Structure 1
C-alpha cells in the first residue's frame, strides 16, 4: 500500500512547470544561483567556479540571473496564479494527480538561444516533439483554469507594457497570460532581459562553462511550484509523474553538493 501524501499547504500563488532533469538541473541551478527544490542559495564557491569556467566574474553572473532566480529553474506550462474562490490546494493536488496519470512521456531537444531579450534553453528548430509539447502546455492552461483567480488590473497593465499583439491581448484577457496556445514558446529562462551585446556574452559564457548536455530531455511530469507570500521565491512542491508517481521532494539537491 502506498504511503498517503501529506497535505499540500495553501500558498499565495501556484504555477505548473517542467522541472528540468539532470544534467540541465545542476548546470542551470548553479547558473541561476538558487535551488528551486530546497529554496536555498547555491554555495558561493560553486558559483565562483562556474563563473571562472565561463570566463566571467561572479557579480556579472549575479546581475544577469537576478530576475529568473526568483522563480527557480523551470519551463512554464501554466504561469503563476492565485486560487479562485472556493478552490483549495487539496483539490488542485487531486486534479494534478488525475491529469498527470493520463499523459504520456516524450523527449525534446533543447538548445540555448535568445528569446524576447533574454537567454533560454528552447526547442531545437524542427523538433518532432513540438506538437506533443504544445498539447501538454495547452491542456495545462485549459484544464486548470477553473483554479485560477482572475488577474487584477495592475497585473494585466504590467503585462501590456511589453507591447502585445492582438492574439496576445486576447489570451491575456481570457487566460491571464499572453503567451499561451498559438503564442506559446517553450523556454527555460536563464537570464533577465539583456542588451544584444550581453545576450551574446551570456550565451558564450554558458556554452564555455564546460558541461556537455545530452541531446534529448525527457518530459515525464508536471511540477507544481508554490510561492508562499507575495514577492517570496518560488519553490518546487510536488512533481506529478506521468507513470502515476508523485514526488514530494522534486529533486535531490545535487546542484549544491
Structure 2
C-alpha cells in the first residue's frame, strides 16, 4: 500500500464536484460516473483523455506517493496529519487558471504564490520520516536520465523530483494531449468548468490518499481541515 499527502478541495466544494465529474471518478469514496460529452469532444473522447488522471483523483501533489517506512503506521501518519493541520493557517489561492504542462492540462495558480510554495515545502519535510526509501524499480519509473541534476537530487533525498524550488502546484485534468488535439480539449474543459475558476480556491484542508494495491485507483483515506476557519487569509 502507498500513501500520499495531497491538497484537494473538500468533498462538497463545487470545484471538487465538477472536477470529479470531468474525470469520471470521485476520490472521496471512489464512485465512478459515466463520461459526458463537452464541447466538440464525445463522451468516449473525454473518457480517453482523462484515463491517466482518473486513477489519481482530483488533487495537487504535496507529498508524492510513498510506502511507509519501517516502524511507521497508518495511525501514526494520520495523527501527524492531524497535528500538522491543526497548526497550519488556511489561506486562499486568489485564482486558478487552465494551463498545459508537459502536454497535459491542469489547473495552476494564475500568479506566483510564495505562501503556497512554503506550504508545499512544509508538507514535504513534515512527513518525510514516514516515507520508506525508494526501491530501484520506483527510481527507474521516474526516468532519472530525463531529470535535471537538481531533480535527481530531490528524487534521491525526498522521493520526488518536483519539490521546493522545482515544485509546480497543479491539479491534473488529462493525460498528455497531442498538439493537434489541444484546442479541442481546452474548449471542452472550459465548458465543463464554467465560471468555477472565477472564485478564490480555499486551501483549507489536507488529504491522505491511499493506493490499496499497485495500480489501483487512489482514494481519500482521511481529510483534515486546516487550523481555525476564522484565521483564513488570502495568499
Shared fold (TM-score, shorter chain, > 0.5): yes
Deviation at 1:221, TM superposition (A): 1.1
Aligned to 2:222: 238
Contact 2:26 2:32 (8 Å CA) reproduced = yes
Deviation at 1:54, TM superposition (A): 2.4
Deviation at 1:123, TM superposition (A): 0.7
Q: Distance in 2 between matches of 1:125 and 1:220?
A: 19
Deviation at 1:16, TM superposition (A): 0.5
2:155 to 172, 176, 183: 172
Query: Which runs of no fewer than 5 residues in structure 1 stay unpaired?
Result: 1-11, 246-257
Residue 218 in structure 1 maps to residue 202 in structure 2: yes
Residue 105 in structure 1 maps to residue 90 in structure 2: yes
Query: Which runs of no fewer than 5 residues in structure 2 stay unpaired?
Result: 230-235
Question: What pairs up with 1:3-152 in 2 under 5 angstroms?
Answer: 12-21=1-10, 22-42=13-33, 44=34, 47-48=35-36, 51=37, 53-108=38-93, 109-126=95-112, 130-152=113-135
Aligned to 2:173: 190
Contact 1:100 1:244 (8 Å CA) reproduced = no
String of CA shifts for 1:209-232, please: whole Å, max 9, x gaps.
Answer: 362113310001111111111111
String of CA shifts for 1:176-224, please: whole Å, max 9, x gaps.
Answer: 1101110000000000112122233211111123621133100011111
TM-score norm. by structure 2 comes to 0.91
Aligned to 2:232: none
Relative distance call for 1:111 and 1:85 in structure 2 (3 A) is same
Contact 1:15 1:79 (8 Å CA) reproduced = yes
Q: Distance in 2 between matches of 1:89 and 1:25?
A: 25
Q: Distance in 2 between matches of 1:172 and 1:142?
A: 14
Aligned residues: 225
Relative distance call for 1:111 and 1:186 in structure 2 (3 A) is same
TM-score norm. by structure 1 comes to 0.83
Deviation at 1:116, TM superposition (A): 1.4
Q: Distance in 1 between matches of 2:119 and 2:27?
A: 22
